[in-house]
Amino acid sequence: MPNKLISPEQTEFQLKSTLWLFTAAGSLILPFALYDISQGKWQIGLGALIIAFALFLGSWCCYKKTYKPIYTFLLLSPFSTFFLLYLTNTVGISGTYWCYPTILLFYFVISERQAWISNIVLIVCILPLAWNLLEANEAARFTVTLILVSAYAAIFLRVITQLYDARCRQANTDPLTRLYNRASLQDSLTQAIHQADRTGTAFTLIGMDIDFFKQINDELGHDVGDNVLVQLGAFLKGYFRESDKVFRTGGEEFLILICNSNEAESAEIAEKMRKDIENLSIIPDRTVTVSIGVSGIGVEKDWQVWMKTCDQNLYKAKHNGRNRVVVGSV
């Protein structure tokens, strides 16, 4: 299975929000844990102290960018549910108050599906205990408010996620071709270099420029030129895998970041793509060709050098007669 690049903006947003949620929750729980221990309530205090420590550890992992939500789901969520059951059984109604922030926290620090599972388990476990310990009217209010808080949090999170994803797509997408634009190029290349260092995964850049595109605009009009860009964008999007990234970097310039493909393999892909584009019927009675430059990461392992090398190879392809592929790294 090919490695798939993760959106740098989305990862950064999730890590920062989770970091501050963990920090806030841990900071609020810690004083209660210390107070309970000082009052001789060792079981309650120790349980709260473990949860606070786990929250601070999660915060530290977010800071170091090593946080894995699955560990919170498998370890912290079950322990928190068990502790809330023990707390409610021990202190009564005041123990149920902690169910509300716990449910909210789950929705924001683990995946949506994991949060649903954790909260359903919590609600199913805590409600019978609440009805057994509390008066009927108090238990009914607790049931309704707990379910409403969980539902509101789920709806709110879904809306926020959809809006944020839409904003990221809009900020990083070319409006004409629906390909990636230059906004996320630096982050994508830097992430590819880091991944290559960590895992040995091969990455290659393919730079492509439409030959004589200005003549197409001048002779046939910008509407035809735009149609050429749209059709080529759709062709490139279908030509490459989901693990690859296709950018429109300029007027008639495209860039493809290929994952799990070395320079020689990518050169073969580029040559086949060049021939396939030449055989496309994009403009009636007119052949559209492209010049292509190919470059591996190289020894410099710097995104600017990598990009510059690819641009130089593309320039050589155009200078040497166009409709050809030039390959080489630093």
Written as six digits, the tokens of 136 are 């009927």
125 sits in the region (left: phi over 0; alpha: psi -120 to 50; else beta) called: alpha
Please identify every residue annotated as catalytic: 252
Written as six digits, the tokens of 83 are 């502790």
Tell me, letter by letter, the H, E, C secondary structure of the chain.
Answer: CCCCCCCHHHHHHHHHHHHHHHHHHHHHHHHHHHHHHHCCCHHHHHHHHHHHHHHHHHHHHHHCCCCCHHHHHHHHHHHHHHHHHHHHHHHCHHHHCCHHHHHHHHHHHCCHHHHHHHHHHHHHHHHHHHHHHCCHHHHHHHHHHHHHHHHHHHHHHHHHHHHHHHHHHHHHECCCCCCECHHHHHHHHHHHHHHHHHHCCCEEEEEEEECCHHHHHHHHCHHHHHHHHHHHHHHHHHHCCCCCEEEECCCCEEEEEEECCCHHHHHHHHHHHHHHHHCCCCECCECCCEEEEEEECCCCCCHHHHHHHHHHHHHHHHHCCCCCEEECCC
